[in-house]
Structures are given as structure tokens and as C-alpha cells.
A and B are shown apart, each in its own frame.
Chain A
């Protein structure tokens, strides 16, 4: 049977929320949670989630032989990175001094302790956990029907710094502005968790399932 959407499982954390939310917005589509590179290659679109620490994520992804299938998917079909799945697309992360997949130019940094002070002088906690506003930096089919500055659910201690401003699809602020969504061609990636972001998140996932990016 044809696989419509493959959710890549490399043994890091809980993918059930992601697959349940996609099944909810894509009734009748075949959604598989898989660590099998052949299924990733066969799938029509790919979701690349990630939780935990990036060094572990990279190691587990490599140990399952997923790199070639991932690189191929990121070049050729609708591809959605979520959380660490966004961070892994960049060249390098400060977390454990880890090399990423290098699909997007830029680095991943930790929220610096010294700058974690709010508008009233209060200490800001890390991880950045909870609902924050997302400013849409570009028009994009994945933002369709989502009001600008909608809140999405975040939980992370590191954030991406794309080297090319044209890659930024969305901004958030904690307390300084950081890129929370990146886009290029058939690739879209978000730092927040659409699968846990209620109506706005479900709309983004529905948009992804319907997305027909222009051929590169």
C-alpha cells in the first residue's frame, strides 16, 4: 500500500502525538511511523520530528541508516521538520558541539543565561516552555488560514540562527527575536510543536498535508 505520509522514528521520544494529529487532519491518508529508510523513500511526504538532545538524535538517526533517505526526501518531496527536526537541518549545534545534516546554512545556539531577563526585569526560564506568538515572516502555503501572531506551543532550550535571512519563515521572541520557522522550496521546519498547538497547529499540519510545492 502506498504511504502518503511517513513520520520518521529514530527512537528519540514520543511520536505518537505527531502521528495522531496528522491522522486527525488527514483522514483516509496512510500515515506510518517508521525507522525504515525504504518506507521514507516510498512515502509521498515526510515529517521529521525530534525530541531530547541533538547529539543523541543525530546518533540514533545515523545508526538507523536514515541519512541518505532523509537527504533525498528533503530535496524531493514535501518535508516538515519539527523541534529538534528543525535544528538537525542546520550545520551545527552548540548542544554537545554536534554537526547537523547541513541542509540549511546556519547554527543552533542555546538561550544565553545572561540575556534571559524579561521586560519587568524578571528571570526567564529555560527551557522556553509554553505558548508564544509566531510572527509570519513570509507568505507561505503552510501559514494559510492561520492568523499572524497566533500562539503555538514551544518547549526547547536551543534555537536556530539561519545564516541566510531569506530562510526565515517565522519569528518568535524570548526575550529576543529568534527564527522559529524556516522554509526553502519543498522544505518547511518549525521549532514549535504544531501537534500540540490546538487549532493553529492542526491548521498548519492540514496545510502541510495539502501542500504541493513547486518542483525545484
Chain B
């Protein structure tokens, strides 16, 4: 027995509500963030991730109130991402009660931010989120990094980018397949495996979960250290506990 693989429900938050979209668009309301966080905590979630996808800067502060409310009642690690542009944003989120902060677009625009934030607060609280999309063609498999919620191509090779972020102080990678996000056909396991074998820091697989076997596959085939999912939990299809029991039946060590 040893370290358990983690199951991390993800809450996309906009203007104070949890929403779920398909391929990063078409958002549907999924409920109150504090209520949902408590429910997942009761079900045995190992961590929670909040992604603030608020478009309007007027509503940016709302995420801080949500994190404060959750952190006063839920005593598991909380990761918050979305709109993190400066070390000061990291500080504000940590002070509100986040344990880790996830950086995506700003890491591409300013990689030094990752080094600065990691140097200041420690690698353990800096997650770099990578949104990756397959590059079409017959050559060896490749993925490109996208930013701005998946709207903007960067030209960066995803695996090389992951290695660079590890070297600059990322403590963990939240790896989302844009091809799979919202499709419910399973993780891009080749992508997950490419990252897991090339990097030494933990990889969280994300994007595409439609059933409990997909979660297990992320670990057994993809080599992920943690699996993240949103919609299968939000609409009450499966509880986190059911997901863990299923993974345990597949021979994966989980915290039950």
C-alpha cells in the first residue's frame, strides 16, 4: 500500500455559479459552488479544483468570496485557476484559502511568472494548466498548446512546454485534452502518457471523461497521478465514492 491516486472534481465557475460547457463553449448552469464543494467533500473527493472562467472583470472578485466560504468548511486541498496574471493574484487566492493556484494563459505569455510564484510560495502550490490539441498529420503524435480558454494557438509543442514548466518551478501539471473536453469519450490517453513519461512531477489528466472506466484508464494506461472530471459528477450520474470504488475494483489504490 502507498500513495493513492487522486480523484478531483472540477468546478468551472462564472459570476458566482458553477457551469459546464462542451468543447469550452455552450455553458449550462450546474449549481452553487459552496454547496457542490461540500457535497463532493462528503463523497470523499481528494481535492477540488475551481476554474474561474468569468469573462467580466467586474465579477472577478467573486471567486475570492467563494474560496473563502469553501475553505472555512472543506478541509481538503483546493486549487483555483483562471485569470492569474501576476504573483499578486497568486497571493490573493492563497490568502482567500486556496492551497494551489493554477496558471495557464499567463504562463505562456510570461513564463517567468511561474518561476517567480514558485520561488515565492513554493512549487507545491503552483499548478501549470496545459490545454493541448492534437496536431493533424501522419508524423509522430504531437500536441500544440492553446491558451485563452482554448481559443488561441501558440505554436508550442505541448510536451516540450510541460518540461519547460517543470524546470521553471511548476509543482504539478493539469493536462486537458481540448480534442476530448466535453465529448465524454475518455481522456486522450496518448497525450496523458506522453506527459507522464516525460515529466517527473505529478500529472492530472483532464478532458473527456464520460464513464468510470475512463477515470481508471487515465491511471492504468495514461499513467496519470490524478484524474479530474466535471460533468459526470455535477449532474449526479456518479458520486465520487462510486468512482473510487470502481477504481479500487480495477486494482488502483484510492483513498476510500
Dominant secondary structure of chain B at its interface with chain A? loop
Contacts of A140 in B (CB 8 A): none
- Tell me, rounded to whole Å, the shortest Cβ–Cβ distance linking B62 to chain A: 18
Q: What residue of chain B has the Cβ atom nearest to residue A11's Cβ?
A: B120
Known: A196-B77, A202-B75. A133 touches B1 (CB 8 A): yes
* Interchain pairs with CB closer than 8 A, number: 103
A125-B226 Cα distance, complex, nearest whole Å:
12
In the complex formed, the residue of B with least CB distance to A113 is: B200
Instruction: Kindly report which residue of chain A lies nearest to residue B91, judged by CB atoms.
Output: A14
Consensus secondary structure, chain A interface? mixed
Q: Looking across the interface, which residue of chain B has its beta carbon closest to that of A201? A: B75
A15-23, A34-42, A69-77: which lies at the B interface? A15-23
Number of chain B residues close to chain A: CB under 8 A = 36
Verify A24–B225 contact, CB threshold 8 A: no
Interface positions of A from 4 to 28, Cβ below 8 Å from B: 12-14, 16-17, 20-21, 24
Per a CB cutoff under 8 Å, which of B4, B41, B71, B120 touches A16?
B71
B6 contacts A by Cβ under 8 Å: yes
Docked-complex contact A118 and B2, CB < 8 angstroms: yes
Q: Does A184 contact B (CB under 8 A)?
A: no
CA distance A131 to B95 in the complex (A): 24
From B1, B72, B98, B171, give the contact of A129 (CB < 8 A): B171
CB of B61 within 8 Å of the partner chain: no
- How long is the Cα–Cα vector from A202 to B72 in the complex, in angstroms? 13
- Report which B residues bind A (CB closer than 8 A): 1-6, 41, 46, 71-72, 75-77, 94-99, 120-125, 171-172, 197, 200-203, 223, 225-226, 255
